[in-house]
Structure 1
Amino acid sequence: MYGFPYHHDPMLPFAVLRARKAAGKTVYLTATPRPDMAGRVKRGDLAHVLIPQRFHGRPLAVPRIRPVGRWRKKIRQKEKLTPLIDFLFHLMDNGRYGYLFVPQVRDIELVQHYVEEELLPFMRAAWPKLAEKVSVPFTVAEVHAAHPGRGGVVSRFRQHEIRLLITTTILERGVTIPFSDVAVLGSDDAVFDAAALIQIAGRVGRKAADPVGHVWFLPEMRTKAQQQAIRQIKQWNRLARQLSGSLHRDGSLQGRGRPHG
């Protein structure tokens, strides 16, 4: 089982093929099957089991789109991005922790400085009672693939020593902490395809202690990838409700078929 995006490196499938015995089987576990794999499933060439619901039974968080316009230009001009302020306000007011995804490594420093030097001082001045409510400093940190202290930063985030972690798609999978929410600044960028956005949205609501999370897409404009991600998540939630509704009281399924296995 690989946490690294399997489809990004052709050496990973090759290594699996070489390691598998002649009579062995390969089992893929993914929330975001690639088009070729989905096509094989539809044609009946690849057996599959669809699990549309997490173990705690709560629905997946459905992202909401809050356009922010030309956000890099606005940040450089020190304009206030209201949707991003709303996200930070939500974290503070509810004692939550946040992932803030950005498209490129070069965006991290720009956004971190903007949050720390512009937005947080503005919010503390505008809502002094909110500032008093934050019992610990609102620590902002960054992490990306080339960050020299990446492991330490992620560990501090897991331990709730960091309130907002600004990152790239390096954390779209594999790192999960409870009581956290997600915002994707520039979610219309080409680096965020539908699969990546689904994986990012999947960072929240994974724990039984905190099964409900919130996801914000903060794009310059709406894109097909964002709409596909939202549509797919809603579809899984509908299917989960249908399957739950088809259970007998004794836990057995009514006779309306089941996913292929």
Structure 2
Amino acid sequence: MKCNRCQNEDPKLFAYDHGVYYCRKCIDFSRLEVNEKIKPVKLMHKTWKGKPKLDYELTASQKLASHDVYKHLSNGKDVILYASTGAGKTEICFESICGYLAQGKKVGFAISRRQVVLEIATRLRKAFPELSICEVAQGYTQITDADIIVCTTHQLYRYPYAFDLLILDELDAFPFAGNEVLQAIANQACVGQKLMLSATPDEESMRLVEEKKTELVCLFERPHKHPLIVPKVIQVSVFLQVLIVIYECIKFCRDNKQTLVFVPRKRDGTWLKMILNLFVKTSLVHSSTENKDEILDCFRNKELEVLVCTTLLERGITIPSVQVVVFKGNHSVFTTASLIQIFGRVGRSFKDPKGEGICLCQFSSQSIKDCVYQISKMNDTVYAATKK
């Protein structure tokens, strides 16, 4: 027995009903019977030979990475783009997107988190105003086909055998990382090449590179050429952490800068938001927040001075001149990868490439130490390259 969607062959994960066996492993994506064939989805194909519209020219390093990525893809190889946060991973994909569209091929952009799907779709519309872009995620399933499709990795089940180029952004992020069902669905959606983007590739991804199954392209230099923000680690009691959060948020507000305060749990965010609201305009976002989009829009429009959030916003969100404070940074929810992503929110703007990242903790966990080490190593790599 085998499931043609998730490739399950474990007899324990099949159920019998009215004379047929069906797969329980991927039942969340609709019931599929054993050996039932999945038909390719029919999507529109358009040949387009235009160029993206950018507010700035790519740097020499970005152009080199962009060319290398497209060269490997053109040779039929999957590619991992290992680039630091703020290095312009999305823009580096544009040459490959244009190359595939010029051949009338289908391009998909899949991301683990809904908020990042909406962010990427907005950026693609700005860069490709002549093309139709659709986002497919929770609350956005009315339109499921366009010149470029941006979707959550869960929504890839709608697109069997659909994409000649499938761009997987943040392939190491929850819930895609380590999820056999989602990975099988992504593999089935791609009939050509995969371009995988990450600032923190996992061991499995790097193993594929070592085995020559995937090509690796690296870029650690940000477009404005300023170094990544290395977090300042402060080890104090929880009570003192609260006082420091209040002090830093007020200080940043007086400097006309906004602050993201990351907390490990929803309940931490609830009471911390109430305290901060006594001093600065503050709101809270977590996975159960119903009006996430409205709150984020208010923050982007500077109607809020502080946004308290869980790791929901650790990736893909770009806010100019934002500063970051992590509360209870030694909590197990803050992994090395998540901390690198969190502090990567700082210093992304050309107009304000500097900033502060503060990690408050009762003790410096291994994740915190590894985060500081890896960010420092990326900066050292860039510095060494500029000296050659």
Please indicate, yes or no, whether the TM-score normalized by the shorter chain is above 0.5: yes
Structure 1 residue 90 displacement after superposition: 2.9
Deviations 1:212-248 (Å, cap 9, x if unpaired)? 12111011211000010110000000111111222xx
- Given candidates 250, 253, 258, the residue that maps to 1:97 is 258
- Given candidates 74, 85, 106, the residue that maps to 2:267 is 106
Q: Does 1:228 align with 2:370?
A: yes
The corresponding residue for 2:245 is 84
Q: Distance in 2 between matches of 1:64 and 1:86?
A: 15
The corresponding residue for 1:25 is 193
Q: Which amino acid aligns with 2:382?
A: A
Q: Which amino acid aligns with 2:268?
A: D
Structure 1 residue 42 displacement after superposition: 4.5
The corresponding residue for 1:58 is 226
Q: Distance in 2 between matches of 1:233 and 1:151?
A: 30
Q: Distance in 2 between matches of 1:18 and 1:12?
A: 10
- Given candidates 154, 167, 183, the residue that maps to 2:296 is 154
The corresponding residue for 1:175 is 317
Which of these two proteins has the greater Rg computed from alpha carbons?
Answer: 2
Q: Which amino acid aligns with 1:58?
A: H
Structure 1 residue 175 displacement after superposition: 1.5
Structure 2 unaligned blocks of 5 or more: 1-108, 114-169
Q: Distance in 2 between matches of 1:204 and 1:3?
A: 22
Structure 1 residue 3 displacement after superposition: 5.2
Q: Which amino acid aligns with 2:369?
A: Q
The corresponding residue for 2:215 is 47
Distance 1:13 1:213, change over 3 A: farther
Q: Distance in 1 between matches of 2:241 and 2:364?
A: 20
SS for the counterpart of 2:324 is strand
Identity of aligned residues (%): 27
Q: Distance in 2 between matches of 1:83 and 1:46?
A: 45
Q: Which amino acid aligns with 1:182?
A: V
Q: Which has the higher helix share?
A: 1
Q: Does 1:204 align with 2:342?
A: no
Are the equivalent residues in 2 in contact too, given 1:6–1:12 (CA < 8 A)? no
SS for the counterpart of 1:29 is strand
- Given candidates 219, 243, 246, the residue that maps to 2:361 is 219
SS for the counterpart of 1:28 is strand
Structure 1 unaligned blocks of 5 or more: 121-137, 247-261
Q: Distance in 1 between matches of 2:376 and 2:384?
A: 12
Q: Which amino acid aligns with 1:18?
A: Q
Q: Which amino acid aligns with 2:339?
A: L
The corresponding residue for 1:14 is 184
Q: CA RMSD in A?
A: 1.9
Q: Does 1:141 align with 2:283?
A: yes
Are the equivalent residues in 2 in contact too, given 1:3–1:173 (CA < 8 A)? no
Structure 1 residue 43 displacement after superposition: 5.3
Are the equivalent residues in 1 in contact too, given 2:273–2:282 (CA < 8 A)? yes
TM normalised by structure 1 equals 0.78
